């Protein structure tokens, strides 16, 4: 089967053609993956401006889809389905992809397949590395999300932890802005931190030892999970961001407002990055131990971070657990991962009717016993109109905060 994937949840317009191989170990083959990045447009504003993003998606989507077909050497009639990111993300951006995919699926007479953006990030690992040893624990860490998933079987994603406030990528971007560095902040901080002293500033490590009013609804964890792991799989980055802000303000005051020397900025970057990486990996490896995981995955834009990759490899060697990381091309938003997750949904009979709507805070996991939404059909051909899923929405999954 050949699927066209479309991704427009944030600031990349992406399309890809992916087919299945019938090989369970390496189930997907990428024919093409085209991305039109809007980063230059948003850089001027220091973050993603939702209105500008959706307008640019409208401008780019036809050309991006045509190029994806051309590069894959595939004609319209060869497509067996159109998969699209339904959510979560910026609603105006999501709507462009969803409307385009619906029109295309209707005109080609092929199934429309809704995909959860984070399921896409998790599948990005399978696209390149093949099916991991299961159960796996996967950290999805990006500009809009920091969520830990327990994956007991292929395509079965169970939320095991999430951020209580900012996503890790958002923290990178905000810290870069307050240091006067360009957007997006992650790659710049990564680069500056390489030659710097990561112990120069002792930023605080967030400890989630007590209930928090931002904790969100309880997660659907297996029995015993809550007491055993309470507070150890949740993340918080807003306190760290505030600590960097206070530190910078104090230093500027000491210097009578004179800009900080480049070496000091780099030391702040390295110190901040060390704390983020340790927080991400401590919780991921703790969850892996608790779930008896046979592999670990890290996906999403922040998985491009060189220190995170290096430290994750070191820890995985230490505990003898295989680690999956995406290539840099598939770490940030792309449509190959959406087409791959779409193929998985298609095989599971999960297609949508033409009144599918974008959902800015779509939850990933459905809890057994949840009632399907009005109008949804159940197996063998599950159709999704609105959000299928539990009230246990991924609180950190409401899309990257606008400027």
Which lies closer to ligand KG4 via its Cβ, residue 304 or residue 350?
304
- Exactly one of 264, 333, 383, 394 binds Zn ion (CB under 5 A); which one? 333
Q: Which of residues 155-174 bind Zn ion (CB under 5 A)?
A: none
Q: What is the DSSP letter of 16?
A: E
CA distance 352 to 382: 8
| Tokens 């994806």 sit on residue | 68
Is 123 among the residues that bind Zn ion (CB under 5 A)? no
Question: Residue 142 or 390: which CB sits closer to Zn ion?
Answer: 142
Nearer to Zn ion, 142 or 345 (CB): 142
Nearest one of 325, 302, 328, 329 to 315, comparing CA atoms: 325
Among ligand KG4, Zn ion, none, partner that 184 touches (CB below 5 to 8 angstroms by kind): ligand KG4
Cα distances from 22 to residues 25, 73, 344, 348, in angstroms, run 9, 21, 12, 15
Question: Least separation, in Å, of the C-beta of 9 and Zn ion?
Answer: 7
Are residues 235 and 283 in contact, defined by beta-carbon separation less than 8 angstroms? Answer: yes
Instruction: Give dist(CA 340, CA 83) in Å, integer.
Output: 9
Reduced DSSP (H G I as helix, E B as strand, rest coil) percent helix, strand, coil of the chain, to 5: 40, 20, 40
Q: Is 169 in the site for ligand KG4 (CB under 6 A)?
A: yes
Q: Does 60 bind ligand KG4 (CB under 6 A)?
A: no
Joined together, the tokens standing for residue 121 give 């990030």
Cis peptide before 380 (omega within 30 of 0): yes
Q: Does 296 bind ligand KG4 (CB under 6 A)?
A: no
Query: Which pair of tokens denotes residue 398?
Result: 């409401």
State how far the Cα of 343 lies from the Cα of 56, in Å rounded to an integer.
Answer: 27
* 186 contributes a contact to ligand KG4 by CB under 6 A: yes
Find the binder of ligand KG4 among 2, 3, 4, 10 (CB under 6 A): 10
Site for ligand KG4 in 320-379 (CB under 6 A): 332-333
Check residue 142 for interaction with Zn ion (CB under 5 A).
yes
Q: Is 304 in the site for ligand KG4 (CB under 6 A)?
A: yes
190 binds ligand KG4 (CB under 6 A): yes
389 is an interface residue for ligand KG4 by CB under 6 A: no
The answer to the question of residue 50 lying near ligand KG4 (CB under 6 A) is no
Q: For the chain, what's the residue count?
A: 403
Q: Tell me which of 50, 143, 386, 396 binds ligand KG4, using CB under 6 A.
A: 143
Residue of 390, 206, 228, 222 lying closest to 280 (CA atoms): 206
Residues that bind ligand KG4 (CB under 6 A): 10, 142-144, 169, 172-173, 184-187, 190, 300-302, 304-305, 332-333, 400
């Amino acid at each position: 089967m050949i699927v066209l994937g479309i991704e427009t949840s944030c600031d990349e317009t992406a399309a890809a053609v992916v087919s299945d191989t019938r090989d369970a170990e390496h189930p997907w083959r990428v024919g093409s993956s085209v991305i039109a990045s809007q980063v230059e447009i948003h850089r001027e504003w220091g973050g993603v401006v939702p209105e500008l993003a959706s307008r640019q998606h409208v401008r780019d989507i036809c050309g991006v889809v045509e190029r994806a077909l051309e590069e894959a050497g595939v004609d319209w009639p060869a497509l067996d389905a159109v998969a699209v990111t339904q959510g979560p993300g910026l609603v105006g951006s999501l709507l462009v992809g969803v409307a385009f995919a619906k029109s295309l699926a209707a005109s080609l007479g092929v199934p429309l397949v809704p995909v959860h953006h984070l399921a896409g990030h998790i599948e990005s690992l399978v696209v390149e590395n093949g099916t991991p040893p299961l159960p796996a624990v996967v950290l999805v860490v990006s500009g809009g999300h920091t969520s830990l998933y327990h994956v007991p079987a292929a395509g079965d994603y169970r939320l095991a932890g999430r951020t209580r406030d900012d996503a890790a990528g958002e923290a990178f971007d905000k810290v870069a802005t307050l240091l006067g560095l360009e957007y997006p902040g992650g790659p710049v901080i990564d680069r500056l931190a390489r030659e710097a002293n990561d112990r120069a500033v002792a930023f605080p490590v967030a400890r989630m030892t007590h209930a928090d009013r931002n904790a969100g609804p309880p997660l659907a964890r297996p029995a015993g999970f809550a007491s055993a792991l309470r507070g150890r799989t949740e993340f918080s980055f807003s306190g760290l961001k505030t600590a960097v802000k206070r530190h910078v303000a104090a230093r500027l005051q000491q210097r009578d407002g004179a800009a900080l020397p480049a070496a000091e900025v780099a030391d702040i970057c390295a110190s901040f990055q060390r704390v983020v990486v340790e927080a991400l990996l401590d919780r991921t490896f703790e969850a892996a131990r608790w779930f008896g995981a046979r592999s670990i995955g890290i996906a999403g834009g922040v998985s491009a971070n060189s220190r995170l990759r290096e430290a994750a490899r070191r820890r995985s060697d230490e505990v003898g657990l295989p680690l999956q990381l995406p290539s840099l091309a598939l770490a940030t938003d792309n449509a190959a991962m959406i087409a791959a997750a779409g193929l998985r949904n298609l095989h599971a009979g999960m297609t949508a009717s033409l009144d599918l709507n974008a959902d800015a805070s779509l939850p990933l996991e459905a809890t057994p016993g949840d009632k399907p939404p009005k109008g949804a059909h159940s197996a063998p051909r599950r159709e999704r109109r609105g959000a299928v899923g539990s009230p246990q929405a991924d609180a950190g999954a409401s899309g990257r905060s606008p400027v």
